[in-house]
Chain A
């Protein structure tokens, strides 16, 4: 294997690669998935009660609700629009605060509380919003509550779903850029006969495979880092994050290379990725459902690269915490080398026979 020839093949791949739709997908996917999973599904898994307010008189209640965590506030100008949104289930409840409402409450005039609930809102959201609204009105009245309430918390607050979804987005960045790109690139070279053309030059199969692996490593490491940054999970310990991302890129690209060497054509390559998809994807589920027995995740190869990324980049831990996982990941990567060499020799022999 010659580093000079490997570099030449890699340079060719880097120059021609962006013409492939796969490259485009590898680059677009982290952005698309971040948008879908974080913006859309984040609010699906952790829905917050939605309250709309029409505040005609700068009420202190609006200021208080704005300060509150866990209630999604929408300020509207028109009472009819508020009612329409509540009825259409765009809001769980709506509150109309006319001019002079605060003063009327303080003066004991008992104004009418114009509070509307959407027929499709969940009963739990109804109770949260109505009890909160009443409590805010009581606060406005200025009288002291006849009871003191102490809150005692147990355990640790669970991680928000937006954080628990990060391994899924990183997984796809690694799979598309690290597995699919180098694998498909190699398969296309086989299908189009350019691999055979290269092999009649001084380039050896090892140079080609080395170049494809490096292509996957570069692209997947870059896309994994971009994905982490997009999800605000890059961490501040850049050097340590760089190491775990690089190990992850190394293993995923090695898996891609193995598939690419093994697959005769694009259809088989696609079928392999699809067929093995759930096996590769499985460890990401354990981050969404932390209550599942975590030892099961260790049975899947990508656990050993996702866990270091999770602990070091997302949770801001140290690389020393994940040395076992990293060692296993590097071990799997190295163990795949002779297997790839064996399959590559067979492919070379088949091509020579042709």
Chain B
């Protein structure tokens, strides 16, 4: 007479068996470890700033043009007040998104844009020019400037334009690789500066800056690629576990070891529960390891993040049970899993792009998971902000998880 075994003890025994089978599957074990190592490394090297300024070379310096124009304009009868306004003109400060680098000499600027000369900015703010072909040492404590477009104003540009001289010409030097919209914008920029200097008012009224910016103004505080990638990488880790879990289930179905297990006191419910717990714990565990390595949890978002990670882990476990129930061989199972998971991966790419995801992307079951992760990590979203997404995710979780359990139960019963 054998003593009765409790259900939890059976489930624990099944979990031990799962863990052993998992550790024997060398290829997925290797891939899992590789993902856990590579993802944080990849994350470390991602850019954590957003380049949102156009670097523009200018010759001669604005201050020198103003100085030169000063006397001439005074002689022309320009008032002291207008001259004072000219003194305060600082194009670089006025134009957000434009970084002005001023050159004394047009030829130097031309060569920098052409790429035959390098421009370096020292920590002290000085501009150092270097000939890359002359074996000169790189300047110390300096950063190389990427200047591929520059404007060469004539020395007496201000006075000529203000006096209404004809034939004033400004040259824009540009690397041919500079996008056309930037070249056009710089041309427009020069023209508008000339209109202003010539005293020709805008033919329209412009609203003030505050009223034309819609939504929170993130200029200078954009979400970096690194921050955008964080939810995506964690999501990918959750998804990766689908492959190994599907492989475990598939092998069990294919080799019919499940039938051997079910002649013991193990009931089909124990079997399904053990698979669910194992898949969810493995997926969630790996997600948490990566989350700890890449950071992002705060006192405000931890509960929301943990909840959505749990939902994601369960959702992918459901998918793995469904795919694994087909009981295909290694290659068949691998490509079947890919066929199912690739569409589920699409929403994670949508976070890389600005704006709202397309409607068809938002319908995909994994969208609310990634949407909540992005909201919690990058936009300080709260439970109430994400309530809709969480409810939608819960519906899909029930459907996918139910489908997985149902498919595997039917398969096991049919063996």
A69-B181, A149-B191 given as contacts; is B354 within 8 A of A89 (CB)? yes
Say yes or no: is A134 at the interface (Cβ < 8 Å to chain B): yes
Name B residues whose Cβ lies closer than 8 Å to a Cβ of A: 26-27, 30-31, 50, 52-54, 95-98, 113-115, 157, 161, 164, 167-177, 179-185, 187-192, 194-195, 197-198, 200-207, 212-220, 222, 329-332, 334-336, 338-339, 342, 349, 352-356
B331 partner, pick from A21, A69, A118, A119, beta carbons under 8 A:
A21
When chains A and B are docked, how far (Å) is the Cα of A124 from the Cα of B186? 11
CA of A121 to CA of B332 in the docked complex: distance in angstroms? 45
A121 cross-chain contacts in B, Cβ below 8 A: 219, 354
Contact of B181 among A128, A151, A155 (CB under 8 A): A128
Which chain A positions have C-beta within 8 A of B172? 149-152
Do the beta carbons of B219 and A126 come within 8 Å of each other? yes
With known contacts A123-B53, A123-B97, A124-B97, A147–B168 Cβ distance under 8 A:
yes
Closest to B353 in A: A44
What is the CA–CA distance of A37 and B175 in the complex, to the nearest angstrom? 26
Q: Does A349 contact B (CB under 8 A)?
A: no
Residues of B within 8 A of A155 (CB): 114-115, 175-177
Given contacts A119-B217, A134-B202, A266-B330, contact A149 B96 (CB under 8 A): no
B156 to chain A, nearest CB (A): 12
Residues of A with C-beta under 8 A to B207:
112-115
Contact A68 B181 (CB under 8 A): yes
Do A154 and B176 touch (CB < 8 A)? yes
16 contacts between A and B (CB under 8 A): A21-B336, A32-B342, A48-B179, A112-B207, A116-B212, A116-B213, A117-B213, A120-B215, A120-B222, A120-B354, A135-B187, A138-B203, A146-B197, A150-B172, A154-B174, A270-B27
> Do B200 and A146 have beta carbons less than 8 Å apart?
yes
Residues of B within 8 A of A158 (CB): 176-177
**Which residues of A lie under 8 Å from residue B181 when comparing CB positions?**
48-49, 68-71, 128, 132
For the complex, give the distance between the alpha carbons of A117 and B168 in Å. Answer: 33
Query: Which of A89, A122, A149, A191 counts the most B-chain CB atoms under 10 A from its CB?
Result: A149
CB of B412, distance to nearest CB on chain A (Å): 23
A146 CB contact (under 8 Å) in B27, B164, B183, B338 = B164
- Select one of A89, A147, A151 contacting B183, CB under 8 A: A151
B170 touches A149 (CB 8 A): yes
Residue in A44, A70, A151 whose beta carbon sits within 8 Å of that of B352 in the complex: A44
**What mask results when residues 146 to 178 of chain A are scored 1 for a CB within 8 Å of chain B, else 0?**
111111111111100000000000000000000
Shortest Cβ distance from B331 into A: residue: A266
* Residues of chain A lying within 8 A (CB to CB) of residue B187: 135, 149, 151
CB pair B213–A68 under 8 Å, yes or no, is no
Q: Which residues of chain A are within 8 angstroms of B349 by Cβ–Cβ distance?
A: 36, 40
Distance between B330 CB and nearest chain A CB, rounded to angstroms = 4
Which A residues are in CB contact (< 8 Å) with B175?
A: 153-155
Cα A137 to Cα B335 with chains together (Å): 56
A75 proximal to B (CB < 8 A): no
Cβ–Cβ < 8 Å partners of A336 in chain B? none
Tally of chain A residues near chain B (CB < 8 A): 79
Classify the interface of chain B: helix, strand, loop or mixed: mixed
Q: A123-B219, A267-B330 are in contact. Are A148 and B169 (CB under 8 A)?
A: yes
The 4 closest A-B pairs by CB, nearest first: A123-B97, A70-B181, A135-B188, A119-B215
Extra 12 A-B pairs, beta carbons < 8 Å, given A44-B352, A125-B52: A21-B335, A25-B338, A68-B184, A88-B355, A108-B203, A110-B201, A112-B205, A117-B212, A120-B215, A152-B173, A267-B330, A270-B334
Cα distance, A225 to B14, chains bound together (Å): 50
A267: B residues at CB distance < 8 A: 26-27, 330
A113 and B329 within 8 A (CB): no
A residues near B161, Cβ cutoff 8 Å:
146-147
Q: What is the chain B residue whose CB lies nearest that of A111?
A: B204
Using Cβ atoms and an 8 Å threshold, which residues of chain B touch A184? 331
Is A138 a contact of B191 with CB atoms below 8 Å?
yes
A298 within 8 A of B: no
Q: How far is the CB of B98 from chain A (nearest CB, A)?
A: 6
Residues in chain B near residue A131, CB distance under 8 A:
185, 188-189, 192
In the bound complex, CA of A140 to CA of B217 (Å): 30
Contact of B174 among A40, A138, A151 (CB under 8 A): A151
A58→B342 CA distance, assembly (Å):
44
| A239 contacts the other chain (CB 8 A) | no
Q: Are A119 and B171 in contact (CB under 8 A)?
A: no
Roughly how many angstroms separate A73 CA and B30 CA in the complex, as a whole number? 47
Q: In the assembly, what is the distance between CA of A154 and CA of B115, in Å?
A: 9
Most buried by A among B97, B176, B189, B353: B97
Contact present for A123 and B52 (CB under 8 Å): yes
- A288 CA to B114 CA, complexed, in Å: 22
Q: Once the chains bind, are A153 and B339 in contact (CB under 8 Å)? A: no
B186 to chain A minimum Cβ distance, whole angstroms, is: 8
Confirm or deny: A188 has a beta carbon within 8 angstroms of a beta carbon on chain B.
yes
Residue of B nearest to A268 (CB): B27
Which residues of the partner chain A approach B52 to less than 8 Å between Cβ atoms?
Answer: 122-125
Among B171, B177, B185, B355, contact of A152 (Cβ-Cβ < 8 Å):
B171
In contact, A146 and B198 (Cβ under 8 angstroms): yes
CB-CB < 8 A to A44: which residues of B?
352-353
List residues of chain A with CB within 8 A of the CB of B174. Answer: 151-154
Residues of B within 8 A of A137 (CB): 202-204
By beta carbon, the residue of chain B nearest A155 is B176
With A43-B353, A120-B215: A128-B182 Cβ-Cβ less than 8 Å: yes
Q: What residue in chain A is nearest B95 (Cβ atoms)?
A: A127
The interface residues of chain A lying within 8 Å CB-to-CB of B31 are 274
Q: Is the CB of A122 within 8 A of B222?
A: yes
| Minimum distance in angstroms from B65 CB to a CB of chain A | 13
What is the chain B residue whose CB lies nearest that of A188? Answer: B331
User: Given A135-B192, A146-B194, A119 and B214 touching (CB < 8 A)?
Assistant: yes
**A117/B195 in contact, CB under 8 A:** no
CA distance A127 to B181 in the complex (A): 11
Compute how far the CA of A184 lies from the CA of B330 in the bound complex, rounded to whole angstroms.
11
